[in-house]
Amino acid sequence: MEDKMEFQYYLPVHIVFGRKKVAEVGALTAPYGKKALIVTGTSSAKKSGLYKKVAQSLTEAKVSHCLFDKVTQNPLTTTAIEGATLAREQQCEVVVAIGGGSIMDCAKAIAFLAVNNGDINDYIYGRKTSEKALPIILIPTTCGTGSEGNGFAVLTNPQNKDKKSLRCNAVVAKVSLVDPECMMTMPKKVLASVGFDALCHCMEAYTSKLAQPFSDALCLYAMELIASSLVKVYQDAQDIEAWEKLTLASTIGGMAINIAGVTLSHGMEHPASGLKDIVHGYGLAALTPVVLEASIEGCPDKFARIAQIFGGSTAEELPGIIRKLLQSLDISFSLSKLGFKEEDIPWMAENCVKVSAASIANNPVVFSQQQITEIYKKAM
């Protein structure tokens, strides 16, 4: 019997891409509300001057604002609840986020919780659903998560360390302002980590069991962009054209995972950064080569295609190619180097099966909890 081609594609996000576009934030936000909650991390947006620019643009467009600046990396459900409480008290009508993936994800959760009652964990695990949230405007300052292009918000529950995403169309941004110049203040270490995250999104969505023609086309294009820009930007932070390519690829990667999901590298990383609060991209760096080695037989043609984009020819070469790339970005890590011990593995493997069931099922080869335990061991 022949395979019939059947798929759906739905992604309602208005992306405004280009240098200096951040100046338009006021005009783009005004249609969605007269009072904004600006969500940032604790310091970067203020130091870089971006917060001031955004606040000024909002004021000029007659949008008043208040500030929530408590978001940290691997944002907590409790932080999102705190932000939503402020949004309600201040009667904010729109949420504007300035920052990387953690800040954008937390802002999405704040916008969601501001209008939905009950426990956020019920929504994360699908025990409850809602299709409403405050309108969201995103200004990414890192090129990695692609959160500006999808309806995911990854949060960590501080009580049980579950790191899992809230997924719903209500948290897709109304407008994402993607300005490559906003990326250029990133420290090199952050760039290496987020750039690798962007690549993982593309590799995983491309090889996912949910892959379809639109996601494949997006991933192939974005991986070409990353291959020609990531190391370049890492070596020369002034190369604005390379920044444009990398920034675009990151947004596309975020769109691709909205369609095709992520696979086992992300599925295994979430328990790791949930447990130890490590940098997400470093966790991916430790896990991806070993996950690739175990998964290649699941779709060798596609893995070969990725290897070719990065200058190789066969699927078997891909883990080595990725290890070399990680070396050139100075993020060759093992889990033990990141502070994990053998005794952490049973909890991570069990938690992986709990929080990442979908990512495990999407992987080209589906592994049991015991096999996942072995992959964690290889990554030590």
Residue 54 sits in a domain of what CATH number? 3.40.50.1970
pTM of the model: 0.96
Domain co-membership, 273 together with 325: yes
Q: What is the DSSP letter of 2?
A: P
Domain co-membership, 121 together with 162: yes
| 47-92 pLDDT tens trace | 899 999 999 999 999 999 999 999 998 999 999 999 999 999 999 9
Residue 2 lies inside a defined structural domain of this protein: no
Domain co-membership, 177 together with 233: no
* More confident call, 174 vs 11: 174
Domain co-membership, 254 together with 172: no
Residue 76 lies inside a defined structural domain of this protein: yes
Which one of 183, 198, 216 terminates a domain? 183
DSSP H stretches of helix in 146-298 = 188-207, 213-235, 240-260, 264-276, 280-295
Domain co-membership, 159 together with 197: no
Domain co-membership, 84 together with 171: yes
Q: How many residues does the chain have?
A: 380
Q: What is the pLDDT of residue 185?
A: 87
Residue 5 lies inside a defined structural domain of this protein: no
Residue 221 lies inside a defined structural domain of this protein: yes
Q: What is the 3-state secondary structure (H, E, C) of 92-136?
A: CCEEEEEECHHHHHHHHHHHHHCCCCCCHHHHHCCCCCCCCCCCE
Residue 4 lies inside a defined structural domain of this protein: no
Domain co-membership, 355 together with 242: yes
Residue 166 lies inside a defined structural domain of this protein: yes
CA 70 to chain centre: 19
Q: What's the number of domains the chain is made of?
A: 2
State mean pLDDT over 1-10. Answer: 80
C-alpha dihedral sign at 372, 339, 153, 89: positive
Domain co-membership, 204 together with 175: no
Domain co-membership, 42 together with 148: yes
Residue 208 lies inside a defined structural domain of this protein: yes
List phi, psi (to 5°) of 346: -60, -40
For the record, the structure tokens of 75 come out as 């944002």
CATH of the domain at 281: 1.20.1090.10
Residue 174 lies inside a defined structural domain of this protein: yes
Which one of 183, 213, 242 terminates a domain? 183
Which one of 150, 183, 216 terminates a domain? 183
Domain co-membership, 202 together with 216: yes
Domain co-membership, 150 together with 204: no
Domain co-membership, 250 together with 360: yes
Range of the domain at 317: 188-379
| 303-361 pLDDT tens trace | 999 999 999 999 999 999 999 999 999 999 999 999 999 999 999 999 999 999 999 99
Q: Nearest-CA neighbor of 251 among 108, 97, 138, 135?
A: 138
Percent of the chain at pLDDT above 70? 99
